[in-house]
Amino acid sequence: CLDCDYCCKGLTEEERDKLSDLFDAFENKTKEARNEIIKKQIDLNAVIEADEPDLKKAKAIQKEINDLEAKISDARLEYIIEIKKINPDMGFGRSAGRERGAWGRRGMGRGR
């Protein structure tokens, strides 16, 4: 989203380049963990789908997945902090800096 005017409005070309570099660094730093999660998820699914699933083995694989996800979350937090140094107004999370979220005040509900 580095090309949109919403999150990068008012940033210089140099600041946008720094954000792009940060994103690339985050992607590279987490690539191995993300790929490993995919492999572990396949392994976990195989254990679960077996004729006689092994709970102990499934829990061990799930712990490995959780550890990898925690590693990515830590890297994401570092990434966000670095972004905020460049662009303090950039939002994250459900509303991503927008007031009341993308779906308005009442969410995506039934539409009354």
pLDDT of residue 41: 99
Reply yes or no on whether the pLDDT at 101 is more than 60: no
Q: pLDDT tens digit string along 63-78?
A: 999 999 999 999 999 9
Residue 39 reports pLDDT greater than 80: yes
Confidence label for 11 from pLDDT (cuts 50, 70 and 90): confident
CA atoms within 13 A on the CB side of 47: 15
Identify whether the C-beta of residue 68 lies closer than 8 Å to the C-beta of residue 33. Answer: yes
Average pLDDT over residues 28-43: 98
Sorted by where each starts, the structural domains of the chain and their CATH numbers stand as: 9-86 (1.20.120.1490)
Percent of the chain with pLDDT over 70: 72
Q: Is the pLDDT of residue 102 over 70?
A: no
- Phi, psi values for residue 91, rounded to 5°: -95, 155
98 in helix, strand or coil?
coil
| CA separation for the pair 16, 22 (Å, rounded) | 10
Tokens 């140099």 — which residue? Answer: 14
